[in-house]
Amino acid sequence: MTALTLSTSGAATLRADALVVGIAKGPKGPVVAAGAEAVDKAFDGKLASVLETLGASGAEGDLTKLPALSGLKTPLVVAVGLGPVPEKDDAFPAEALRRAAGTAARALVGVKKAGFALPIESVEDAEAVAEGALLGAYNFTAYQDQADEKDAKKLPLAEVALLGAKPRDKAFKAAAERAIALAEEINRARDLVNTPPNDLYPESFAAVAQAAAKEHGLKIQVLDEKALAKGNYGGILGVGQGAAHGPRLVKISYTHPKAEKSLAYVGKGITYDSGGISLKPAGHNETMKCDMAGAAAVFASVVTVARLGLKVNVTGWLALAENMPSGTATRPGDVLRMYSGKTVEVLNTDAEGRLVLADALTRASEENPDAIVDVATLTGAMMMALGSRTFGIMGNDESFRTAIHEIAEEVGEQSWPMPMPAELRKGMNSDTADIANMGERMGGGLVAGLFLQEFVGEDIAWAHLDIAGPAFHEAAPFGYTHKGGTGSSIRTLVKLAERTADGDLG
């Protein structure tokens, strides 16, 4: 893991391999941001014009490397774009800082130590830069030969020295600790998502959770096939029964002795979604190792909450199964008796996420938490609606849904509230069972939300995050977002727990 330190030296005296500074996009070319004064001085006050000559604009994503000739103790200067110059007296948006730091960190693969001298006006700014740098300094190389010397270059930036933060100030120190815990767990969730499905299957995922639970003093319970059968978890078993690797339900709990509120986080953990007997066509299953991103997010969030010692109880439920076609697989037309007792006619085995989630939601409801949030790469329809960077939020409680949307916005995650129109329920009417696992094609993401709602305990505030779009990034990397697993929704879930611990919600 990349190390983070709050630097006690200034930009002119820091000894490092590189120094990162910010530039903003002004009306007449790039503008040097606060924090870069020493670098500007080293360039005779001409840093902005030098950068403009090199084609820099200060726009988001813009990155220019310059050799430092004199006046600095670093050989390399990296100037990153922060986007438009803020209105008078305004600071840069936290997400602009986070992304700029991430862009710089990504460009510094193979580098040992870099100083980040971005404009920091507050503790929040410092934390955003730290998060962006640590999330940008990520690379999934577990399956690439590290012994090869030329591949050693791919190792992420080893040390981030944050400039402009007060190293002896309690608030800055706490912010750094929080950024480290959060980024490490997000990066671990990314690893889980990126791990190929031949190595990450329900049993091995559960083992990772068990190890983490031991490390952080969390309570954990793993139900295997036998225990699931004994407990009548028909949804999880029905999805998992076609695979050689059996399903699991993991309960991982963090409790605080003085907690007044409890949250349940429920994650879809399909370690591979082939579609089952309703097999996905070629071109649609190559990235389906990402279908456990919800469970990874839940897992990472619970561990982060524990590391931060928040005054709230959080239970994570990981509904793990591999969705495969075989002679033992659930057939379209089969009826499953769910954990809740409801029967579901499986019309399409590719609508499997809602089946495993339904059981976990019912089970989570039994413990009567103050709120439940489920996270799932649930529908292609949500990607159609919101694109690949925004998750949809549904739920049974408008103010809770709004709160989550606002929290997501605050932590720099793109989301949008979605409705659950009641008239879509009848599309799931079944001739044979209580409900079918599919309804109208139009509004497919909302239909899935309506299905899930049937398995949530009455009077429990519940929100459903459909992260099918942002969970797995297939386009070119940007900011702190790499190709592959992103760790989508973890920052939102952790902030929600913090708000709940502080008594700011419900």
Residue ranges of the annotated binding site for Mn(2+) are: 268, 273, 291, 350, 352
SS3 231: coil
Sheet holding 343-345, edge to edge: 335-337, 343-345, 435-436
Residue 380, binding choice from ligand BES, Zn ion, Mn ion, none, Cβ under 5 to 8 Å by partner class: ligand BES
Output 164 or 484, the one with its CB closest to Zn ion. Answer: 484
Going by their DSSP bridges, the two strands 335-337 and 415-417 should be labelled as unpaired
| Catalytic status, residue 280 | yes
The catalytically annotated residue of 41, 73, 280, 337 is 280
Looking at 64-72, 273-281, 417-425, 454-462, which segment touches Mn ion (CB under 5 A)? 273-281
350 interacts with Mn ion by CB under 5 A? yes
* C-beta closer to Zn ion: residue 66 or 471: 471
Catalytic residue among 178, 307, 354, 363: 354
Q: Is 466 in the site for Mn ion (CB under 5 A)?
A: no
Q: Which two tokens stand for residue 221?
A: 């319970």
Name the one range near Mn ion by CB under 5 A: 21-29, 197-205, 351-359, 366-374. Answer: 351-359
Rg (CA), the chain: 24
Binds ligand BES (CB under 6 A): choice among 22, 164, 444, 485: 444
DSSP 435-447: EES---STTHHHH
466 binds Zn ion, rule: CB under 5 A = no
AA letter at 164: G
Determine which residue in the list 184, 350, 374, 454 makes contact with ligand BES, applying CB under 6 A: 350
For residues 469 and 388, is the Cβ–Cβ distance under 8 A?
yes
Which CB sits closer to ligand BES, 212 or 360? 360
Asked if residue 455 lies in contact with residue 374, where contact means CB atoms within 8 angstroms, the answer is no
Q: Which is nearer to Zn ion, 115 or 353 (CB)?
A: 353
Q: Out of 275, 353, 445, 479, name the contact with Zn ion by CB under 5 A.
A: 353
Q: What is the dihedral of CA 235, 236, 242, 248, to 10 degrees?
A: -170
Among residues 334 and 367, whose Cβ is nearest to Mn ion? 334
Direct distance between the N- and C-terminal alpha carbons of the chain, in angstroms, rounded to an integer: 37
Is the CB of residue 444 less than 8 Å from the CB of residue 371?
Answer: no
**348 is a contact residue toward ligand BES (CB under 6 A):** yes
Backbone angles phi, psi at 163, to 5 degrees: -100, 155
Tokens for 261?
């509120």
Among 95, 191, 273, 413, binds ligand BES (CB under 6 A): 273
CB-closest chain residue to Zn ion: 273
From the annotation, which residues make up the binding site?
Answer: 268, 273, 291, 350, 352
Binding segment toward Mn ion, per CB under 5 A, in 106-114, 352-360, 384-392, 410-418 = 352-360
Taking CB under 6 A as the criterion, which residues in 278-307 touch ligand BES? Answer: 291
Q: Which one of residues 127, 191, 273, 345 is an interface residue with Mn ion (CB under 5 A)? A: 273
Q: Cβ-count burial of 208 within 10 angstroms (0-12 exposed, 13-18 middle, 19+ buried)?
A: middle
CA 96 – CA 248 distance, rounded (Å): 40
What is the residue-wise DSSP string for 1-57?
--EEEE-SS-TTT--SSEEEEEEEEETTEEEEPTT-HHHHHHTTT-HHHHHHHTT--
**In the sheet that 415-417 helps form, which strands lie side by side, from edge to edge?**
219-223, 248-254, 313-323, 262-273, 371-376, 461-466, 391-395, 415-417
- Does the protein bind ligand BES through residue 320 (CB under 6 A)? no
Question: Total number of residues binding ligand BES (CB under 6 A)?
Answer: 15
Distance in Å, CB of 378 to Zn ion, minimum: 7
Residues 470, 481 contacting (CB under 8 angstroms): no
Least distance in angstroms from the C-beta of 182 to ligand BES: 24
Name the one range near Mn ion by CB under 5 A: 60-68, 203-211, 238-246, 348-356: 348-356
Question: For residue 446, what are the contacts with CB-CB under 8 A and spacing of at least 6?
Answer: 381, 394, 418, 419, 420, 421, 424
Chain centroid to CA 224: 26
Q: Annotated catalytic, 15?
A: no
Enter the tokens of residue 44. Answer: 């005779």
Residues 6+ apart with CB under 8 A from 52: 29, 30
Question: Which part of the chain contacts Mn ion (CB under 5 A), choosing from 85-93, 235-243, 343-351, 465-473?
Answer: 343-351
Residue 371 binds which entry of Mn ion, Zn ion, ligand BES, none, CB below 5-8 Å type-dependent: none
Task: Show contacts with ligand BES in window 363-382 (CB under 6 A).
Answer: 377-381
Query: 480 is written with which tokens?
Result: 């702190």
* 461 near ligand BES, judged by CB under 6 A: no
Applying CB under 6 A, the residues found at the interface with ligand BES are 273, 291, 348, 350-353, 377-381, 438, 444, 468
**Which residues are catalytically annotated?**
280, 354
Give the footprint of Mn ion on this chain (CB under 5 A): 273, 350, 352
